[in-house]
Amino acid sequence: MNKTIRELAADLAAGRITSVELTQRMLARAEAHRAQGGHAYVSLDGEQALAEARASDAARAAGLVPSPLAGIPLSIKDLFDVKGQVSSAASLALADAPPAAADAQAVARLRAAGAVLLGRTNMSEFAFSGLGLNPHYGTPRNPLDRDRVAGGSTSGGAVTVALDMAAGALGTDTGGSIRIPSAFCGLTGFKPTAASISLEGTVPLSRSLDSAGPIARSVDCCAILYAALSGQEIADGAPSLQGLRLGFTTDYVGTHVEPQVRQAFERALDMLRAAGAQVEQFDFPELLELPVINGGGGLVAAEAWHWHRALLEEKGGQYDQRLAARIRRGQQQGAADYIDLLDARARLIAAAERRLAPFDAWLMPSVAILAPQVGPLEADDASFFATNGLVLRNASVINFLDGCALSVPCQAQGELPVGLGICALAGKDARVLQIGRAVEAMLGTRE
């Protein structure tokens, strides 16, 4: 099918398909995927989804169509509360937690927009990895090469979209968890400004860095989902690329980039220049401070330890021990260390405001490498930690700077997916989405 949300909404409006038929098709694909050993969903809610689809069709027949998402099936990452369901964050340590008493606010907004919720998607346990490995519920595999990871932490969400088991996925992004799987799976992902979408009713990782957002097939799909989640209207149009000022830096995010990723990124820059954009290199040396700033585990470890300490004491044996070791790094940080981190973040945000002031957007490879193979990561801790760090490196910069960013596919036909990051600072969400529409149209990589 491979249709965008807007195309599916047009089919529903024209009566070419019903929400029930669309939901049945996606549920059937999800069941077949599971039967073939796939691990994208941790649970499917087929009966409830079909009931929601029937209600949507009836409402449409009565002239009630609350948004372009009406009747559209979506998947939900397993750390968002859905009333009556357990939010396990794909961890055995929360498998017996009480069912949620109410929907998370993001889930409630999708329901209010008329979306159909298909089920809960697999993820890196507690969202604490960019690779998507999960020893408890199985590792979702890359839909283009099953020997490779799908990327994390919203691994299952990306696979549900890539394999037409959902029209869009609700995910979270603390250091790239929406953009990394989007880049690895040839999809579009949007990490909004953190404050623009409520995280009420979610299992947290880092209160300073967490954000919620969509994975889907196009920038327009992400804009539709973002509008529903944030309550902000996003204009449909795209600006002319002519005269746009786009900056890129080789500092930090431009180093140790795999050749195929570099070629795809540079090809995209050349295409933008040919389309009339002003594409300029700039210096951002302050980024080189990040390895030192985060050397003790950073804000993620400190804030994850705060939330997990009691659960680790009670059920630490049920955690993936690689994850538990990363969280326990936060135990070594004192109050002064934490305040130093907050001060360093404020200092780098101020530097970013100066460095990015001349530009409409900041471009970078979403991830420095292609999707790595699963086998070596499962077999060797050193390989896992080194690869995870490199995979998270570029995307996590935007979370640290409290920014917003799209990842759009930019690979040549027949190549493994590569993501182009289109980034800006807090509050520039609408502008990033508008620029993203223009860049996507120029690249022509959407099916």
**Comparing C-alpha atoms, which of 402, 155, 201 is closest to residue 299?**
402
The catalytically annotated residue of 75, 153, 206, 211 is 153
CA–CA dist 267, 288 (Å, integer):
26
- State both tokens at 250: 């080789």
Specify whether the CB–CB gap between 248 and 281 falls below 8 A.
yes
- The count of other CB atoms within 10 Å of the CB of residue 306 is 17
CA atoms in the 13 A half-sphere facing the CB of 228? 28
Helix axes 321-328, 381-400, angle to 10 degrees: 50
CA–CA dist 354, 15 (Å, integer):
52
Number of helices (H), then strands (E), belonging to the chain: the values are 15, 13
Q: 128-163: b or e for each residue (b if 16 or more CB lie within 10 Å)?
A: bbbbbbbebbbbbbbbebeebbbbbbbbbbbbbbbb
- State both tokens at 96: 């017996």
Specify whether the CB–CB gap between 129 and 153 falls below 8 A.
yes
Please state the φ and ψ torsions of residue 163, each to the nearest 5 degrees.
-100, 20
**Comparing C-alpha atoms, which of 204, 247, 179, 228 is closest to residue 396?**
179
**Comparing C-alpha atoms, which of 426, 269, 431, 439 is closest to residue 360?**
431
Asked if 230 is an active-site residue, the reply is no
CA–CA dist 80, 129 (Å, integer):
17
The catalytically annotated residue of 77, 88, 91, 218 is 77
**Alpha-carbon dihedral angle through residues 180, 182, 185, 187, given to the nearest 10 degrees:** -160
Q: For residue 52, give the 3-state DSSP assignment.
A: helix
Q: Which residues pair with 41 in a beta bridge?
A: 121
The catalytically annotated residue of 56, 75, 124, 177 is 177
The contacts of residue 395 (CB under 8 Å, 6+ apart) are: 130, 173, 175, 176, 179, 180, 191, 366, 367, 405, 407, 421
Asked if 77 is an active-site residue, the reply is yes
Q: For residue 122, give the 3-state DSSP assignment.
A: coil
Asked if 83 is an active-site residue, the reply is no
CA–CA dist 45, 85 (Å, integer):
10
Q: 349-385: b or e for each residue (b if 16 or more CB lie within 10 Å)?
A: eebbeebbeebbbbbbbbbbbbbbebeebeeeeeebe
- Looking at the annotation, which residues are catalytic? 77, 153, 177
